[in-house]
Amino acid sequence: MSDLPLREPCSPACCSSVPRCGAELSQASPAVGWSSLWASQNTAPHVAKGLLWEPDTPGPLPLLPPGPDPWDPGVTAQDLLFRGGYQFRRQPQAVLDVSEQLSRFLWDHGDIAFAPLGKLMLENFKLEGARSRSKKKTVVSVKRLLQDLGGHQPWGCPWAYLSHRQRRFSILGGPILSTSVASLLGELLHEELALRWEQLLLDDAFTGGALAWVPGRTPGSGQLVYPAGGALDRLYFQKVNLTPGSEPRVLGGPGHIRLRGPVRQVVTRTVQGEALLAVRSDYHCALWKVSKQGQPAPLQVLQVEKGATGISLSPHLPGELAICSRSGAICLWTPQDGLQQIYKDPETLVFRDPSPWRWADFTAHPRVLTVGDRTGVKMVDTQGPQGCGLLLFRGGAEASCQKGERVLLTQYLGECGPECLHPTLHLICTQFSLYLVDERLPLVPLLKWNHDLPSAPLLARLLPPPRTGLPRPLLLAGQGGELQLLHIAGEGASTPRLAGPPQSLPSRSDSLSAFAPLEPKSQWRLQERLTAPAIGLAAAIPPSANTPVLSLFQLSAAGDVFHQGLHLQADPGPDSPAPTASWTPQATASCSRWLKALLEVPPAPPVWAAPTFSHRRLLGCFEPQKAESKAPEGLRTAMAKGRLLQLRDLGLLPTEERAPAPEPGPEDELSERLEAAWEGQAAAWWERRRGSSLGPGKQPKRHKRRTQLSNTFSSLSGRLDLSDAASPPPSPERTLPAARPQPPVTPPSQESTQELWARAVPSERQQTLRDYMAELPLQGDAPGGASVPSSQTSSVRATPSRQRAAVRSGSQPHCKKPRMGF
């Protein structure tokens, strides 16, 4: 690559060490000692004292009130993965549930899924809705079918039903719906699910950050530029004044610009006293010029057909913009020359990777850019032949990369200034490590450090030194909101190195303790809002005469802006305890106001919800009745006192007081009859019933014999006391041969009962009734003065046939078999 043409640097004072040709790149390698290249991985030499930033509060505080639009967190891993799976799989793996997602797509977007099939099935539909008299069974009434489908419940609802129209429709459309829809949409849906799963693992849309700090006319003043709204399609400009030792002061309301798509990246840079602002959307890129009063003026809007993945502003020429496309093309836009393509390669640099992500940034030379993908970073000359370049970094053995390690972010760190780092340094972040690479020594990093962030580091900010002689802070933020602060030292010709150990800063989830406890639903909503993915990071160091102060701003995917103040601790001793921050009354009051505004925002509607049960046919003529209930009030009282919920708290009757039984109505004959039989007053009830049914001077009519006899038997069985009844003493005629003959004893109650019931029984059936009553076990004492146990009594009662068989097996002559089955 000795023929690679390189132009002059931007300034000989700060870029004098930039090589002029490719041959000098290889010759400059021995100039840097090999002992300092690896600056001890994960070991940071302590070169300066007092490099501990102490946070003012245990967590960041909300700077601006939440927006009026609800926030939808989108799909999660539980929504896409198959809930079942193999229990004995040695290596568990994620399986996408395509069948459930396909069914939900057909239900939610039926017009898209089934609209092309309408013309194919049109001849088998009758659209007017009137009842068809034709004998053809292949015609379906669309009007009634839609009515049936309107009340249908999916997902195993107990009210779901299938009508004959739905069955006919399924028979007609089964061959088409089961094959055509699945074949047309199955492949596309599987591709979409795979894309959504990749976005859950790594969402690179907000690489670089969508939050920027534009300095103002006076030190400490400026404005925050960030997207907000439900779709992040409104770009806000909020003026903020930073005062050392106090919270940032918001000046007035923000101005905003409505865009055509969601804002993915916001970049700002001041070149030659001119502040520029670049914004990247999915398919558009725009450039503004910010005046000293803070008013943005549009310069250019560009459309990217394949989708933009990154933008960068030149630190050398004002208004120069580099744009990356998913097709692998890198374009350069300048106010003088317009848009020109300088590089295009749909393939990755080092090895094959399916990701279409591309990134471009500037270098120490104005006409040389870096082009990066997931496999490596390459330096390209904008005025040289396309395809030529020099690899700056690649994932491999030269950088001791791990298996599966991919490039996530590249950033140029060189700036012209008295205390800037070397102008040939570049920052490269992967999911495991952080690398510092020099343009003069490609492929071999000067510094490697394992950041150990739980999420992908997509945001990085290099800040100016807080004080003369101190190293420069470097902020690194993960997609999950984790923050780490590093210090890089090495001005001029010295080797860059980490100054002091890296420091972990509080995240937005650490601010949960500043909010008052809420009910579970609101508490879950607050936690979901605080743990939203981080999409923006900005920082500023206002001028301070005493202790340096760092103002840190974070932007979440919900559009919330949080602020964290840190001050530099002066020379902490080795044995001094670490300071602990606490919540101030002003901080808790700010959180309370923000939470109150958040709970007033309506929650986002669910992506999918089962339709409600159609009750028009069942409850169309009824109106809901409003009844006052003491349940919520009683529940709060019991929770406040810390005791169990009792019935009196709900306004119900206590357990010891039984509700009065309902009195039987005048027509409730069965209840009266059962009650009288239970109390042993069946005969008296029968007389009362018989006397009330017959008027004075009337004789009872002769009913059907079978009905009257069966009623009498049922009344007799109700007369018996089932709890205290015992078997009667045996009569002498039916005494067994081994038993001693005794005179028959008949209780007077039995005789009176037989005489009362004999009045209502015809004379030809009275003897049969007496024989039946003689064999029933009535209440009395057993022979020998011993009462029969209840278990024996029940057994005798339960088996009257065995008793009769035992009696008839004696010396008594065989009796005549009674009629009517007795």
Going from the first residue of the chain to its last (822 residues), give the mean pLDDT of each consecutive group of 10, the final group possibly shorter: 34 34 30 36 46 91 92 82 61 72 76 66 57 55 63 51 64 66 76 86 94 91 93 94 87 91 95 93 94 90 94 93 95 88 93 94 94 95 84 92 94 75 92 94 92 94 88 94 91 80 93 92 93 95 83 95 88 62 92 94 66 44 49 79 77 56 62 83 84 59 48 44 42 41 47 55 75 65 43 41 44 50 44
Interstrand relation of 329-334 and 321-325 (parallel, antiparallel or unpaired) = antiparallel
CA separation for the pair 374, 356 (Å, rounded): 9
Q: Which two tokens stand for residue 734?
A: 């039916």
705: Cβ–Cβ under 8 A, 6 or more apart, which residues? 762, 765
Residue 408 and residue 415: Cα distance in Å, rounded?
22
| Residue reference for tokens 């839609």 | 146
In this structure, are residues 719 and 753 in contact, taking their beta carbons and an 8 Å threshold?
yes
Residue 82 near residue 93 (C-beta atoms within 8 A): no
Domain ranges of the chain: 77-199
Give the per-residue pLDDT at 712. Answer: 44
Could you identify the residue written with the tokens 């030149």?
314
Long-range contacts of 123-128 (CB under 8 A, 24+ apart): 124/172
Res 193: pLDDT: 84
* Cβ–Cβ < 8 Å for 242, 540: yes
Q: What is the pLDDT of residues 451-478, one digit of tens each?
A: 999 999 999 999 988 888 888 999 999 9
- How is residue 115 annotated by DSSP? G
Residue (of 129, 136, 117, 128) closest to 174 by Cα position: 117
Find out whether 556 and 533 touch, Cβ atoms under 8 Å: yes
Beta strand pairing call for 433-438 and 425-430: antiparallel
What's the CA gap between 289 and 802, in Å, rounded? 111
CB 278 within 8 A of CB 287: yes
Q: What are phi and psi of 686, to 5 degrees?
A: -65, -40
Separation of alpha carbons 427 and 363, rounded Å: 11
Round to whole Å and give the CA distance between 362 and 415: 11
Task: Decide: 239 and 233 in contact? Cβ < 8 Å.
Answer: no
Closest of 100, 69, 108, 82 to residue 607, by C-alpha: 108
Q: What is the pTM of this model?
A: 0.65
- Are the CB atoms for 507 and 521 separated by under 8 Å? no
Which residues, at least 6 apart from 432, have a Cβ–Cβ distance to it below 8 Å? 401, 402, 405, 450, 451
Q: Which two tokens stand for residue 292?
A: 């000293």
Supply the pLDDT for residue 77: 80
Q: Are 557 and 532 in contact (CB under 8 A)?
A: yes
Closest CA to 260 of 243, 235, 289: 235
User: In sequence order, what DSSP letters do the residues of 493-512 get, joined into one string?
Assistant: TSPPEE-S--EEEP-GGGGG
Q: Give Cα 697 distance to the centre of its chain.
A: 84
Helix (H) or strand (E) holding 426: strand 425-430
E strands in 216-367: 221-228, 234-241, 249-258, 265-271, 274-280, 284-290, 296-303, 308-313, 321-325, 329-334, 338-344, 359-362
Q: What three-state secondary structure class fits 313?
A: strand
Question: What are the φ and ψ backbone dihedral angles of 632, each rounded to 5 degrees?
Answer: -60, -40
Q: Report which secondary-structure segment, H or E, holds 770.
A: helix 763-774
**C-alpha pair distances (Å), 54 with each of 505, 506, 508, 539:** 9, 10, 16, 15
Q: Which two tokens stand for residue 231?
A: 């779709």
Beta carbons of 407 and 395 less than 8 angstroms apart: yes
300 CB-near residues (< 8 Å, 6+ apart): 286, 287, 321, 333, 335
For residue 372, the cross-strand partners are 359, 377
At residue 142, the pLDDT reads: 66
Specify whether the CB–CB gap between 234 and 228 falls below 8 A. Answer: yes
Angle between helix axes 705-719 and 763-774 (nearest 10 degrees) is 30
Calpha distance 378→1 (Å, rounded):
13
Nearest to 775 by CA among 812, 800, 809: 800
Q: What is the dihedral of CA 247, 253, 259, 264, to 10 degrees?
A: 10
Q: Of the candidates 310, 381, 373, 384, which has an alpha carbon nearest to the alpha carbon of residue 345?
A: 373
Matching residue, tokens 């008296």:
684
Residues in the chain: 822
The DSSP string of 588-657 is: HHHHHHHHHHHHHSPPPPPS--PPPP--HHHHTT--PPP----HHHHHHHHHHHT----GGGGTPPPTTS
Question: Does residue 553 contact residue 562 with C-beta atoms inside 8 Å?
Answer: yes
**Residues with Cβ within 8 Å of residue 655, at least 6 apart in sequence:** 647
CA distance 571 to 573: 6
**Side chain identity at 695, as an amino acid letter?**
G
User: Containing H/E element for 555?
Assistant: strand 549-556
